[in-house]
Amino acid sequence: MKARMKDMMRVATARLGGEQQAGASSSSGYVRRDSTAVRTTRLGGDSLRRQPQPQAPTVRTVYCNDRDANAPVGYKGNSVSTTKYNVLTFLPKGLFEQFRRVANLYFLMISILSTTPISPVHPVTNVVPLSLVLLVSLIKEAFEDWKRFQNDMSINNAKVDILQDRDWESTPWKRLQVGDIVRIKKDGYFPADLLFLSSTNPDGVCYIETANLDGETNLKIRKALEKTWDYVLPEKVSEFKGEVQCEQPNNSLYTFTGNLIVDKQTIPLSPNQLLLRGCSLRNTEYIVGVVIFTGHETKVMMNSMNVPSKRSTLEKKLDKLILALFATLFMMCVIGAIGSGVFINQKYFYLGLRGHVEDQFNPKNRFVVTILTMFTLITLYSTIIPISLYVSIEMIKFIQCTQFINNDINMYHAESNTPALARTSNLNEELGQVEYIFSDKTGTLTRNLMEFFKCSIGGEMYGTGITEIEKGGAERAGIKIDNDEGKRSAVAIHEKGFNFDDARLMRGAWRNEPNPEACKEFFRCLAICHTVLPEGEETPEKISYQAASPDEAALVAAAKNFGFFFYRGALALGPRPKLLEGVYTIIETNPCKGYMRETEHLLLRVIWEQSKTSVIPIITPDRIPVSSVAFDKTPHDAGAIEVALTILRTPTTVVVRESHVERMGSIQDVSYEILNVLEFNSTRKRQSVVCRFPNGRLVLYCKGADNVVFERLADGNHDMKKISREHLEQFGSAGLRTLCLAYRDLNREQYESWNEKFVQAKSSLRDRDKKLDEVAELIEKDLILIGCTAIEDKLQEGVPACIETLSAAGIKIWVLTGDKMETAINIAYACSLVNNDTKQFIISSETDTIREAEDKGDPIEIARVIKDTVKQSLKNFHEEALRSLSRMPERKLALIIDGRCLMYALDPTLRVDLLGLSLSCHSVVCCRVSPLQKAQVASLVKKGARKITLSIGDGANDVSMIQAAHVGIGISGQEGMQAVMASDFAIAQFRFLTDLLLVHGRWSYLRLCKVITYFFYKNLTFTLTQFWFTFQTGFSGQRFYDDWFQSLYNVIFTALPVIIVGLFDKDVTASLSKRYPQLYKEGIRNSFFKWRVIAVWGFFAFYQSIVFYYFTAAASRHGHGSSGKILGLWDVSTMAFSCVVVTVNLRLLMACNSITRWHYISVAGSIVAWFVFIFIYSAIMTSFDRQENVYFVIYVLMSTFFFYLTILLVPVIALFGDFLYLSIQRWLYPYDYQVIQEMHRDDPHEYSMVQLPETSHLSPEEQRSYAISMLPRENSKHTGFAFDSPGYESFFASQQGVGVPHKPWDVARRASMKQRQQPQRPARS
Amino acid sequence: MSSSSAAAGTSNGGSVDAGGAARRNTRMPKYSKFTQQELPACKPILTPKWVVSVFFIVGVIFVPIGVVSLLAARDVVEIIDRYDEACVPSNMTENKLAYIQNSTISKNCTRTLRITKEMKQPIFVYYELDNFYQNHRRYVKSRNDAQLRDAKKPNQTSACEPERYTADGKPIVPCGLIAWSLFNDTYSFTRGNENLTVDKKDISWKSDREHKFGKDVYPSNFQNGSLIGGAKLNSSIPVHESYSALSYVVAYACRRESIVHVTSLSEQEDLIVWMRTAALPTFRKLYGRINIDLKQNDTITVNLLNNYNTYSFGGKKKLVLSTATWLGGKNDFLGYAYLIVGGLCIFLSFAFTLLYFIKPRLVFILISAAITMISVGLTGNWGTTTTCPGTDTLEAAKAPLGTP
């Protein structure tokens, strides 16, 4: 445990190198500039709105540890509530929410109408179904809200230590106030946004986990101000009187500006000192902080705005259907109303129309009669709008998501232990209609498993491996390549991040190469210029590297294998801590392992004897160079400690164990002093460090994207540049990811003067990041190229097959990547998106004309040239594409465009051409695109082509694209969670798209189409019978059915079966769905929810309603049965209603593709429910209500044979038409799925169990990949070149108005879950 | 339909759970037939075989039912006599309304009916009205069931507008338009000299009589207004109380009604029948029964009082004598419907069989070919390395489908 803790600390401290860290917190400046630049060229009609910038610096002043001083300001408390309702507001607000649905509002109005005398029906007719629907919805709302409330309560009542009268006191979170000083213990959660004062760790650092914010589980470092380091113990802390002036609460997670005024000294604050609510403390005994923002004003809560939910296209079309129904309703009412105006006449003396007659029937005022009858009929025909449709669809979709998608074993990824997750239930059926997929490349198509594969040093290429892509290319060219595993040389090493085979470099052999100096610089650059943290034992075998991007880890691992073993970071820069007064006791010393000779280290723990508690580690300096301390084991050597602490503060160093440098076989540990780190970000596309060699040499090492580095190279050595460029192209075409390495020697004066500017920029309060960038430009020039690296990016399992299946399903796949064009094209080859027969249209900014213009350097001219080029090629290619399509329609076309050209192509004037061209291509590859461009492309197709789009990605840079498309899919199971948090569905592997789309999406689409059309049919049928009756009642609006029949029709007698169908209907099995991807095209074409389909249902509804009405009405004229008695209106209507219920339920069975026992139960149950109901209902007679109408009706009916004959005849005749239609349709014009059904009619049932791989019997290959997946994970994704930081990207996204939705309850839920799990967490110390 | 149940898969369910439990903390979804959407199901496919069989079976069932129903309907003898035109005196055919509204003109009318076929008792006497909207909303709701049922609630006259109160504000029992417009034509029959008694008992449904109309509810203030809609009911005062024999006799004499002993609503069967409102504007109501067999070629003389005003709205009035079978009156609609549907089904089953043999799913194959073409179009160009799994199978499937 101790060793582990020590490692962790070292990891952490190394990270601090150069004060900046993670880049996440400090890159907002670039972001803003960058996004502005892009925005000017944004799509005209683009919906990506901008969010407000962080607020103007209105200052919030917080007096630390002084409640009275803070009181007048009236800051909000720390209690949070994420509930939508409370006890009082639940009903009004919940109802209000419900009535925002048009259908509900409509029924409310109808219900109100039905209480007036013009209504033909009792209010119960409309009130009952409405209240049932509302009840179901409200119960659901209440249930969800209750869960949220419980979460809130557990969070609000969580305990935290707060400083009260020089001692810690446990208080619930909700009692916290701004300015309070709190203590957070290890693994605890921060209850509010805190200003970090001090920690038990040395140097005032602490480690936090931000999993609740961004899902990343890697630890981040926060560092307290040096001034406040001492305030650890309560006695001391209570003396702390500071004043914090900072920005007002805002939602920007990665920015914070403010000042701490303590002892009349103003110290600037940065995000580094801010501990955000929701994060948790790790590897730190405890920290002390001041509450700055509380409750809903914390940044995480401010971020929790509701993202507008997506609606599926099907539902939008459903709206049109509902509108059509309204139109039908209106027409029916108009016809009826005019009829009533014409009909009403005094000659019908029995209607009592003489004398005083109410307006509705007054023949003297036919106009008023018409108008009022209109309302009457609207009330009567209200059943045409299916009231329970929306709630049924909601239920169906909810169950589909939670039970089917989330539980699909086929979509469970055993290696990462991740099942699929539907994060929204709105879009299930949208998955069945996707036509365009926009896919990120890295981490989505590829594994994000980077392996150092090749390199080029000083113009010489090393590495003999052959990539999958090269193999594929060779195979396409007809060359057979053997599996090279056996042929590898003895020195080949294949470990995580390193898969390199070239004897010329291994084991010091590089000394014999033509350019050993360059090799040395190359390796040093790899070993020094990075932000990787070593973890684990400091041996080459056991160490593991934690890096912001897997590329970096691969590079450092490569350096290690070349004999430049980087194993230790260094302490942060900073003056020594002040010694606390008191007597120190060294209780433990711990000389470290043997191989460290020159700098043997000690672990020092100190006891403060006066402390009441037993052991308080005040400072745990973990290293004291032995040579400097006369160290003996005498316990009371305070002087030694003083010395130790003095020496402790060495400048930031990176320690590299270099082998073979001086001579073959020599090993020496070299400490490089890191003076400055110039961080990577996607604007700079490069990273530099300035370091001082032990001999005083000052060097700047830089690595970055080729174009960026080449721009900054010193003149001369053109051959080397040219050769390197060729190598880069070769690497690119082999699908490898490249970085250029360069260095520059600095002299002292040069550096000193620059460092001054750097420090100035760093301490500036405004635009710090921008200024840092500018300063960096000053020194990153005149570089000398060392060489370049090539890293292999492994394809994910099953990707080519999946893409092939999806293509066969008629889905077009676009790859949007930040990689360079060559890499992207080759990944496209590898994924079978493009092949040799494909005609490629390449629009690249890397053409001679553009280069020429660039050389001149006039930005306006460059822009003009590029725009012209893009315009010209778009026009030409589009024409060519159309020609090709007309001449050789089977030929595949592919468009490849890079981000820079895309920027111009997305210009409103060129967009039409771009869209036309890209839609006529079968696949499109966009490379070097920014996250914003990804989103722009997605919305170009979504809005421009009105096709259904799906975006899939894994990283923060895909967030905007995921949110822009109709359906957003995140790749889960990896560490980064931002894509998942923004997505609608999360799957672990790209290949699961097959299941998600072809199985779940298709079924879902099929089922919902069926449900909707069936709802349409059953309500139309029912209402039309009423309509026909109206014609024979003198258009009076007399109801045909009893009130209760009508009110229960939708909610009881026909409710359940359709839900069952929505859940279980299945045309072909899952395996057949995947075997015949062509079936999916029916969804793309929207074959099942066309107006034609609806018209067919409508026609049969019309036909059936006529059958129901006239066949039963014919009964009323004659006596039925030997008693000769005559049936009345209610007998006839009850008979008709029975026929309707029976038929409509049976019709559903006819529409089913598969009938489970639940179908039988629900259909039979519904029919039985009706008869049970009518038996009871017509047997009782109560004094209220109008049920005398139907008193004993069913018994009267059942006493006649006529009833039985009718109830057999009418459903058969009614279904006769449907049956005939269905048989002819299937026979002569079958749908694709029907063909497949018949082909596989006799197949035995297939069970997924059969296909399921036995998890215990993995093939060696699988075991290896499993083992790899179990290795410590890289924590972040990247775009483009090599590395990137997620914080940066999400900030980028939020600036573009597509903020990552941090749902507060998500955070809260996870927080509460973790708290419950805590007892099981093994103690780390 | 082709249902294949799935016993094979059931044993597999348990093994995975065991395997899953072995690895700790797995988030692997538990297998269940429900969540994996593998519930055993029958898959009905409307293959031509099934279509033909279903049609055939339906036909085979329906034709006999149709024949039986039709035979039953054929057994019924029905004699219809429209008398509303004929009973208007020849001098008033131009102004029928004046005729019917003039109470001084005698409404007596005599019709003779010839029995075309022997009629076994009971012979049901119906009157049939046309263009009479008993289902009009204003009409249907114009009643109060509570009042009809409960003697204590004579004042419950809501919904009875405009026949709610008399001019002096007393509640009418039974109130409402339906009761007010009670049909008041009367018929009596003679065969030669023989008086054919019309039995007016048990012409209403028992449930109505016993539960909807109270035994102790008596009409009051009924048809007292200026405007008389239809028949009057017997006076509201019960016989056994202070009701003089004289007035009873007078009432009897005036009304010339059939014999009335007790006058509570539950025994006013004409009213009860009338108040079970008809579904359509053309309807029949049972008037009574003649419990004597009528021979073929018998001549029946009908003495009727043509009181009821259908002339204002041009409604027809018909007198119907009909026998009934187990299926009821002369309604061959049901029989024909069964026969036609059954016949059609058998015809279709033959037609489909014929089609099936002559053109063995020619179109079907064309469609399969089209699908194949499409899939080839999509996948065919992918070079040698790629083939779509579906394409081959579809093509392969073509051959067996070619032959029935």
**Chain segment A958-975, per-residue pLDDT in tens:** 878 888 899 999 888 765
3-state secondary structure of A412: coil
Minimum mean pLDDT among A337-346, A488-497, A1284-1293: which range? A1284-1293
Q: Which of B62, B177, B327 comes nearest A352 by C-beta? A: B177
Q: How far is A990 from chain B (nearest CA, A)?
A: 18
Q: Which domain holds residue B382?
A: 360-398
3-state secondary structure of A702: strand
Query: Residues B65, B102: one domain?
Result: no
> φ and ψ at B146, to 5 degrees?
-65, -40
State how far the alpha carbon of A486 is from the alpha carbons of A325, A483, A489, A503, A579, in Å. Answer: 71, 7, 9, 16, 61
- ω into residue B122 within 30 of 0, thus cis? yes
| Contact assessment for residue A821 and residue A843, using Cβ atoms and an 8 Å cutoff | no
B308-313 average pLDDT score: 88
pLDDT band at residue A29 under the 50/70/90 scheme: very low
Query: Residues B265, B298: one domain?
Result: yes
Q: Which of A419, A475, A1155 comes nearest B44 by C-beta? A: A1155
Q: Which of A356, A1111, A1124 comes nearest B329 by C-beta? A: A1124
Residue B22 lies in a domain: no
Distance from C-alpha of A1168 to C-alpha of B359, rounded to nearest angstrom: 43
pLDDT at A976: 60
B169-179 average pLDDT score: 85
Query: HEC profile for A13-64?
Result: HHHCCCCCCCCCCCCHHHHHHHHHHHHCCCCCCCCCCCCCCCCCCCEEEEEC
A327 vs A79, which has greater pLDDT?
Answer: A327
Instruction: Examine the pLDDT at A1248 and tell me if it is beyond 70.
Output: no
Domain tally for chain B?
A: 3
Query: Residues B256, B132: one domain?
Result: yes
Rg (CA), chain B: 35
Query: Residues B198, B274: one domain?
Result: yes
Instruction: Examine the pLDDT at A551 and tell me if it is beyond 60.
Output: yes
Size of interface A-B (CB pairs under 8 A): 365
Q: For B183, which residue in chain A has the nearest alpha carbon?
A: A350
Contact B45 A1238 (CB under 8 A): yes
| Contact assessment for residue B115 and residue B297, using Cβ atoms and an 8 Å cutoff | yes
Q: Which of B338, B363, B381 comes nearest A1228 by C-beta? A: B363
| Contact assessment for residue A434 and residue A948, using Cβ atoms and an 8 Å cutoff | yes
Residue B311 lies in a domain: yes
Distance from C-alpha of A800 to C-alpha of A306, rounded to nearest angstrom: 37
Please indicate if any CB of chain A lies within 8 Å of the CB of B348: yes
Instruction: Examine the pLDDT at A1162 and tell me if it is beyond 50.
Output: yes
**Residues of A with a known catalytic role:** 440
Q: How far is A1077 from chain B (nearest CA, A)?
A: 7
Kindly give the pairing relationship between strand A193-199 and strand A286-293: antiparallel
A957 is in an annotated binding site: yes
Partner B, chain A 826-845, Cβ-Cβ below 8 Å: 832, 835-837
What's the mean per-residue pLDDT of chain A?
A: 76
Contact B327 A1121 (CB under 8 A): yes
Q: Which of A835, A1119, A1192 comes nearest B329 by C-beta? A: A1119
Residue B328 lies in a domain: no
Distance from C-alpha of A1093 to C-alpha of A1103, rounded to nearest angstrom: 15
**Chain segment A727-767, per-residue pLDDT in tens:** 888 887 777 778 899 999 988 888 888 888 887 776 665 67
Distance from C-alpha of A92 to C-alpha of A142, rounded to nearest angstrom: 13
pLDDT at A490: 64
Query: What residues of chain B lie within 8 A of the CB of A1159, using their CB?
Result: 41
State how far the alpha carbon of A1317 is from the alpha carbons of A190, A216, A442, A1321, in Å. Answer: 17, 18, 33, 7
Helices (H), B191-332: 206-207, 245-255, 269-275
Angle of helix A1056-1064 versus helix A1157-1177 axis, rounded to 10: 170
pLDDT band at residue A797 under the 50/70/90 scheme: confident
State how far the alpha carbon of A683 is from the alpha carbons of A32, A96, A742, A1281, A1288, in Å. Answer: 11, 48, 18, 11, 11
Q: For A362, which residue in chain B has the nearest alpha carbon?
A: B138
Query: HEC profile for A130-187?
Result: HHHHHHHHHHHHHHHHHHHHHHHHHHHCCEEEEEECCEEEEEEHHHCCCCCEEEEECC
Query: Residues B221, B233: one domain?
Result: yes
Please indicate if any CB of chain A lies within 8 Å of the CB of B38: yes
pLDDT at B54: 92
Contact A1249 B13 (CB under 8 A): yes
Please indicate if any CB of chain A lies within 8 Å of the CB of B127: no
pLDDT at A262: 83
Angle of helix A1201-1228 versus helix B333-358 axis, rounded to 10: 20
Residue B312 lies in a domain: yes
B251-265 average pLDDT score: 51
A552 is in an annotated binding site: yes
| Contact assessment for residue B186 and residue B305, using Cβ atoms and an 8 Å cutoff | yes
Distance from C-alpha of B352 to C-alpha of B404, rounded to nearest angstrom: 13
A1286 vs B127, which has greater pLDDT?
Answer: B127
Residue B404 lies in a domain: no
Nearest of A1304, A1295, A1300 to residue A214 by alpha carbon: A1300
Partner A, chain B 150-189, Cβ-Cβ below 8 Å: 161-163, 177, 180-181
Contact B133 A1077 (CB under 8 A): no
Q: Specify the amino acid at residue A1294.
A: S
| Contact assessment for residue A421 and residue A972, using Cβ atoms and an 8 Å cutoff | yes
- The residues, ordered by sequence, that sit 6+ positions from A105 with a Cβ below 8 Å of its Cβ are A99
Contact B328 A1118 (CB under 8 A): yes
| Contact assessment for residue A850 and residue A866, using Cβ atoms and an 8 Å cutoff | yes
Token digits of residue A540: 């080459």
Query: HEC profile for A829-864?
Result: HHCCCCCCCCEEEEECCCCHHHHHHHHHCCHHHHHH
Residue B308 lies in a domain: yes
Burial of A665 (0-12, 13-18, 19+ CB in 10 A): exposed
Query: Residues B237, B114: one domain?
Result: yes
pLDDT band at residue A1279 under the 50/70/90 scheme: very low
Query: Residues B67, B152: one domain?
Result: no
Please indicate if any CB of chain B lies within 8 Å of the CB of A1249: yes
**Chain segment B60-74, per-residue pLDDT in tens:** 999 999 999 899 888
> What's the CA dihedral at B151, B152, B155, B159 to 10 degrees?
-70
**Chain segment A853-894, per-residue pLDDT in tens:** 777 777 788 888 888 888 888 989 988 888 888 888 878 889
Partner A, chain B 272-331, Cβ-Cβ below 8 Å: 273, 276-286, 289, 309, 312-314, 322, 324-331
Distance from C-alpha of A1037 to C-alpha of A1029, rounded to nearest angstrom: 9
Q: Which of A120, A1036, A1235 comes nearest B368 by C-beta? A: A1235
Instruction: Examine the pLDDT at A1053 and tell me if it is beyond 60.
Output: yes
ipTM of the complex in this document: 0.83
pLDDT band at residue A206 under the 50/70/90 scheme: confident
**Chain segment B7-55, per-residue pLDDT in tens:** 333 333 333 344 444 445 678 888 888 888 888 888 888 888 888 999 9
Kindly give the pairing relationship between strand B299-305 and strand B186-191: antiparallel
Q: How far is B245 from chain A (nearest CA, A)?
A: 34
Contact A1075 B389 (CB under 8 A): yes
Query: Residues B235, B179: one domain?
Result: yes
Q: How far is B249 from chain A (nearest CA, A)?
A: 30
Please indicate if any CB of chain B lies within 8 Å of the CB of A1226: yes
Please indicate if any CB of chain B lies within 8 Å of the CB of A350: yes
Query: Residues B386, B242: one domain?
Result: no
Please indicate if any CB of chain A lies within 8 Å of the CB of B229: yes
pLDDT at A639: 41
Distance from C-alpha of A1167 to C-alpha of A446, rounded to nearest angstrom: 54
pLDDT band at residue B81 under the 50/70/90 scheme: very high
Please indicate if any CB of chain B lies within 8 Å of the CB of A1251: no
Query: Residues B98, B205: one domain?
Result: yes
Query: Residues B192, B263: one domain?
Result: yes
Minimum mean pLDDT among A972-981, B219-228, B384-393: which range? B384-393
Please indicate if any CB of chain A lies within 8 Å of the CB of B89: no
Contact B385 A1242 (CB under 8 A): no
Nearest of B36, B388, B2 to residue A1069 by alpha carbon: B36
Instruction: Examine the pLDDT at A552 and tell me if it is beyond 50.
Output: yes
Query: Residues B317, B171: one domain?
Result: yes
- The residues, ordered by sequence, that sit 6+ positions from A860 with a Cβ below 8 Å of its Cβ are none
Residue B172 lies in a domain: yes
Please indicate if any CB of chain A lies within 8 Å of the CB of B336: no
- The residues, ordered by sequence, that sit 6+ positions from A1025 with a Cβ below 8 Å of its Cβ are A1040, A1105, A1108, A1109, A1136, A1140
pLDDT at A1061: 93
pLDDT band at residue A1158 under the 50/70/90 scheme: very high
State how far the alpha carbon of A918 is from the alpha carbons of A436, A463, A773, in Å. Answer: 11, 38, 37
Token digits of residue A31: 């972001």
**Chain segment A1077-1124, per-residue pLDDT in tens:** 999 998 998 889 999 999 999 999 999 999 999 988 877 778 777 888
Residue B18 lies in a domain: no
Q: For B140, which residue in chain A has the nearest alpha carbon?
A: A1038
Distance from C-alpha of A308 to C-alpha of A290, rounded to nearest angstrom: 35
Q: Which of B22, B58, B312 comes nearest A349 by C-beta? A: B312
Contact A356 B12 (CB under 8 A): no
